[in-house]
Amino acid sequence: MITGKQYCEMIISGCNHISNQKAAINALNVFPVPDGDTGTNMTLTISAAARELQNMGECTVAQASDRAAGAMLKGARGNSGVILSLLFRGISKGLKEKETCNAQELAAAITQGVKAAYRAVMKPTEGTVLTVSRVAAERLVKYTEKGDVSVVEALEYYVQEANKVLAETPEMLPQLKQAGVVDAGGKGFAVVMEGALLALKGEAVQPQDEPEQVTQTVQDEVYLREEDIKFTYCTEYIVTVDETATKDNPAELRSYLESIGDSVVCVPDNDIIKVHVHTNHPGRAIEEALRYGMLVNLKIDNMKEEFRERQKNQPAEPEIAEPAKKYGFVSVVAGEGLAALYKDLGVDTVVEGGQTMNPSTADILAAVNKTPSEIVFVLPNNKNIIMAAEQAKELSTAKQVVVIPTKTVPQGVTAMLGFDENMEAEEVAAAMTEQIGYVQTAQVTYAARDSVFDDHEIKEGQLLGLLETKVTYVEDEMSAVVEKLFQSMAEKGGSYVNIYYGEDVSEEDAVKVQEQVQAMMPDAEVICLPGGQPVYHYIFSVE
């Protein structure tokens, strides 16, 4: 059986496991553009749950899974993070009202998680995390049908089968095979489940690096209450083992600490023992440790006091603006110039984010709540943010939310130009969505890593020319990539060209690009504006 406490330990261990491996998972991304990478997004998503469960007291598996799912849903970042949150949301529904969970119930819950994730994806692509989780779940159900399988055996089998399916993903997606990698999202999910398995076996994974530092919104802490902090003092120290010690078995120290607290880390490393414990008796934790040697780097924090201080610095309830009008707008952009442009177009609330800074579902929901209107239209302006925006729509109770599926900044700009306040909401959404098709988008960025993508051999640092969101040209010189992009876009024609130059581009260089574009499209009106965006040297629009 899996208990509520074990479920908490499993999520935390899974979080630590993917956090420790996030760089390797990021490196699996075949898309060479600097991105809100899969490993990072999945780590940030499950970290929201780990924070919630860290101080959770006695609970059922239903309570633990429900709280983890709620935190993940709000903390979800990027498409991979949203899918991970949906998998665990479905698992929590499968464990509803259960005190504990056996092997058959675990298999059924994971199956429900897979169904939840598939329902949220309009056109599921096989060879991704969806395939890895689904096929392994189908095999797990059959494995547990014989009835004499323990939960450890069941989860061990699931991880094993997930890794088998993962190894087959290059045969399902040509892009993966060409790059010689497995699916990054599938790998991230398999790593999380392996970390959970290790916790269930009593071998919980510990963090190797500092945890991700993320600005938290009010919604990130919505479930945490002071009474959830069962053990008040976070106690940390290092034991320097010496000849005066009366005891020398770190396993005995760990066992003692577990008897007086939780969240125990007791790691021997040559002649030192690193210790972390949440307890109501830090003196006892220190006294026992002195039997093993001298103490250094001793630190004791009162977690209840820290919680109270955090509560003082944030409103008790999420800020919800009273409607002053019928329609309002939230847009996701990065860069002062682009933010100012969207404000000028009538956007009420700008969420800072983009390719490398995917905002969480909670970030978008907080922006929706701050918007003083009855109905809020959300412009994600990035294909990796649309799913998080859709989840914010599902979570919004105070306002009606409509997501306009903009994938680029120029699509968002032209969508705003299609707004007519005299229309009904459905008509507004239809008109804005239609406007997206009237603009061509091109972007110039750099390769973050060596890669092979769509038959392009790409070296780190080369310039990448994207038509819409697809890498189309790879060049070493800016003039060459601009020429090829506008040769392609000029074929469809256009009377208006906007050039938004990034934070690392000088005005002088931007003017040179403007002159080059004007020469290629002499009959068009070409405007050059400072966007201030990171990552992308230039964003072009042609209408």
pLDDT digits (tens, 9 = 90+) for 400-431: 999 999 999 999 999 999 899 999 999 999 99
Both tokens assigned to 241: 């083992």
Query: 529 pairs with which residues across the strands?
Result: 500
- Order the strands of the 538-542 sheet from edge to edge: 470-475, 463-467, 440-446, 538-542, 496-501, 525-530
Residue indicated by tokens 């050059």: 528
C-beta separation of 395 from 74 below 8 A = yes
d(CA 113, CA 84): 9
In 3D, which of 337, 349, 372, 381 has the Cα closest to residue 498? 337
Between residues 154 and 31, which one has the greater pLDDT?
Answer: 154
d(CA 109, CA 400): 31
Picking from 12-16, 221-225, 312-316, 435-439, which range would have the lowest pLDDT averaged per residue?
221-225
Q: pLDDT band at residue 447, thresholds of 50, 70 and 90?
A: confident
User: Domains in the chain, start-ordered, CATH in brackets?
Assistant: 4-207 (1.25.40.340), 229-312 (3.30.70), 325-436 (3.40.50.510), 440-542 (3.30.1180.10)
On the question of pLDDT at 122 being above 80, the answer is no
In the prediction, which pLDDT does 107 show? 95
Query: Please, what's the b/e burial string for 293-309 (b: 16 or more CB within 10 A of its CB; e: otherwise)?
Result: beeeeeeeeebeeebee
Residue indicated by tokens 């610095």: 313
Q: pLDDT band at residue 226, thresholds of 50, 70 and 90?
A: low
Strand 325-333 and strand 349-352: pairing?
A: parallel
Both tokens assigned to 527: 């405007």
Residue indicated by tokens 């969240």: 263
In the prediction, which pLDDT does 356 show? 58
In 3D, which of 68, 93, 63, 62 has the Cα closest to residue 14? 68
d(CA 191, CA 196): 9
d(CA 272, CA 296): 10
**DSSP 8-state code for residue 172:** H
In the prediction, which pLDDT does 217 show? 37
C-beta separation of 83 from 73 below 8 A = no
d(CA 272, CA 248): 11
Both tokens assigned to 501: 């130059």
> Over the chain, what is the mean pLDDT?
88
Between residues 146 and 484, which one has the greater pLDDT?
Answer: 484
Digit-coded pLDDT (tens) for 370-406: 999 999 999 999 988 999 999 999 999 999 999 999 9
What residues contact 232, with CB distance under 8 A and at least 6 apart? 279, 280, 302, 303, 304
Share of the chain above pLDDT 70, in %: 92
Average pLDDT score over residue span 290-306:
87
Average pLDDT score over residue span 144-157:
92
Picking from 41-45, 477-481, 491-495, which range would have the lowest pLDDT averaged per residue?
491-495
Residues in the chain: 543
Average pLDDT score over residue span 317-330:
86
Digit-coded pLDDT (tens) for 75-118: 898 889 999 999 999 999 999 999 999 999 999 999 999 999 99
In 3D, which of 231, 290, 224, 221 has the Cα closest to residue 264? 231
d(CA 299, CA 419): 57
Q: Which amino acid is residue 359, in one-letter code?
A: P
In 3D, which of 343, 331, 497 has the Cα closest to residue 412? 331
